[in-house]
Amino acid sequence: MLNSRVSEIEGVRATPIFSARDSRGTFSKFNPLQELNGVLDSVAFSFNPVPGTIRGLHFQIEPFAEEKLVTCALGAIFDVVADLRPESTTFGKWASYELNATNCVQLYLPKGVAHGFQTLTSNSVIQYCLSTPYSSENSFAINPLGNLDITWPISEFFLSERDASGINFSQAEKIYIDSL
**Catalytic positions, please?**
58, 128
> Could you report how far apart the first and last alpha carbons of the chain are, in Å?
36
- With H, G, I as helix, E, B as strand and everything else as coil, classify residue 38: coil
CB 32 within 8 A of CB 104: no
Contacts with 135 (C-beta within 8 Å, 6 or more apart), sequence order: 60, 64
Q: Determine how β-strand 25-29 pairs with β-strand 94-100.
A: unpaired
Backbone angles phi, psi at 24, to 5 degrees: -85, -20
Kindly report the number of other CB atoms within 10 A of residue 74's CB atom: 16
